[in-house]
Amino acid sequence: HRFFWQFFRLQVYSIQEIGDLGMNIRKISLIALIIFLSAIYAVLLAQKIDLTTLDLGRHLKNGELFLENFSVSQKNFYSYTFPDYPVINHHWATGVTFFLMYDLTGFKGLSVFFILTSIVTFLIFFNIASKYSTPTIAAIVSIFIIPVLGSRIEIRPEIFSYLFCGIFFWILWNYNQEKIGYRWLFILPLVELLWVNFHIYFFLGPALIGVFLIENIIRQKKFRWLLITLIITALAAFINPAGIGGVLYPLKMFGNYGYRLFENQSVWFIQNLMNYPPTFYFKLVFGILLISWVAAFHAIIKKRTKFSLANFLITVAFGVIGWLMIRNFTIFGYFALPIAAINFKNLTENNVIEKENPEYFSAIILTLTILILLIMINPNYWHGRNNIGLGTESNANKAAEFFIKEGLTGPIFNNYDIGGYLIYYLFPRERVFIDNRPEAYPELFFKESYIPMQETDKKWQEELEKYNFNSIFFYRNDLTPWAQSFLIQRVSDPDWSPVYVDNYNIIFLKRNELNQLVIQKYELPKSIFNVK
């Protein structure tokens, strides 16, 4: 009796230990998987900052000025051309956050903050994907989606929209699945209060609540708390410096857009213009998402799962905005991850594939493994990652330092791309002719002044007489036809002298008494520009 009792106890302990070991292995594997995926994403995002073309310089200056006087200006005070032009600073809180991080840790710390915020956002969406599907399916889908997420590597206010979308979706999805109580919903108005001051995509918050509310109304489930949350969240959006103007700004912003931006173009436009690898991965992920819905509808017909109207509406909405503007690739990718993973779960739930198609199960796994390896070794997977690192690109600040050191003055004529750079380094000592905010200048200003004055010498002379430019500060890699034409004309123009050039920028000075000494000291021979 004793012998058999002791033997039985040993067997139980052995089974428990094996079970515990299995649990530990699964936990360790999941942690390793998360670290692996996060590392890939981090490498894609770890690119040195090129301040010459980013909005980041202006955001930092916005934050610095706010902390000095605790007010948010509603005018275009950075420009001397239209200083009183009304403009809503819809991302002022982002500028404050960026500046505080930069002030504490420098540009390298700001890069780390951007990467960590992006990884946290990814993990929120990945949590939903793995929890309501499987970690394996979530990981496979992630491999295809990560290059879409990494198509936007610049430090921009939109990173907060991605994060807030993740928080909204996590709470709404878990609430809809009855995994959390209604009290969690009251976090959403607080997030919206932040969102409306961090980025213009704040309207996505109430929209996400709306799709889950519609689904619950159609299913005749309890929707009272969703309706209350939607009302409170919508009201929270009015708490911003511009009030109702800030709430309505997303509807008006593109009504005054006189300059065509690369990031605002459609997939069709870009693929006819150039080879842009992120469009390939966007279309690949879009195709995967469509296939996942085929799997979902198959399961719905077999009555193994219920149709998720909310997920379907989100798929349609973010799929459309992804096709219409490549700047929306990342936000599309984030939502595609959990939705595709949840849909694909229907193929493996109760071993559907293995039971119905046992001869193909191993082949599918092998094919996926080979496909993932081919995807990851493709150079296009790592498109644009030529300068991996943290902080700013070396020597990008040299042009601004030269301008300040030599005591150069304006009025400055500058191109669109470099506006944020000049605001960061030279404001308030100098103001810009234009900066990279199309909405901050009249549409006719672009069509009747900015572009024509670079295309024809006659228009240039008219604007020169009007503004009396003393210097030209230009991002020399501006590839617009008018910019290249303008630079060639100025190099050959006897009234202007190039005094500084590097890989990023070029500075011209007008030949007058004020600039005479600097020109004598630094004038560059025109032969180095190879202009005939």
Per residue in 478-493, pLDDT (tens digit) is 888 888 888 888 888 8
Distance of CA 522 to the CA centre of its chain: 40
Of residues 200 and 350, more confidence is placed in: 200
Q: What is the pTM of this model?
A: 0.85
**Pick from 40, 210, 43, 207: which is nearest to 126 by CA?**
40
Percentage of the residues of the chain whose pLDDT score is greater than 70: 86
Judge contact between 118 and 45, C-beta under 8 A.
Answer: yes
Per-residue model confidence (pLDDT) at position 26: 65
396-438 confidence digits (pLDDT tens): 888 889 999 988 887 999 998 899 999 999 988 999 999 888 8
CA distance 226 to 468: 59
Angle between helices 309-324 and 329-348 (to 10 degrees): 140
Q: Is the per-residue pLDDT at 458 higher than 80?
A: yes
Write b or e for each residue in 229-238: b if 16 or more Cβ atoms lie within 10 A of its Cβ, otherwise e.
Answer: bbebbbebbe
Predicted pLDDT at 229 = 93
520, pLDDT greater than 70:
yes
- The mean pLDDT of 182-187, rounded to a whole number, is 92
Dig out the tokens for 343 from the structure: 């849909």
- The residue-averaged pLDDT of 135-141 equals 84
pLDDT band at 361 (very low <50, low <70, confident <90, very high): very low
pLDDT reading at 7 higher than 80: no
- pLDDT, residue 12, reads 45
**Is the model more confident about 137 or about 229?**
229
- Cα 89 to Cα 72: distance, rounded to the nearest angstrom: 7
Looking at residue 17, what is its pLDDT? 46
User: In the predicted model, what is the mean pLDDT of the chain?
Assistant: 83
Question: What is the full DSSP assignment across 364-388?
Answer: HHHHHHHHHHHHHHSGGGGTT-SSB
Angstrom CA distances, 430 to 54, 80, 418, 423, 473, stand at: 19, 9, 14, 8, 12
CA distance 93 to 91: 6
**Residue 492: what pLDDT?**
85
3-state secondary structure at position 219: coil
Report the pLDDT value the prediction gives residue 263, as an integer from 0 to 100. 78
Q: What is the pLDDT of residues 267-313, one digit of tens each?
A: 888 888 777 888 888 898 999 999 988 888 888 887 777 888 889 99
> Over the stretch 34-89, which tens digit does the pLDDT of each residue have?
888 888 888 888 888 888 888 888 999 999 999 988 888 888 889 999 888 888 88
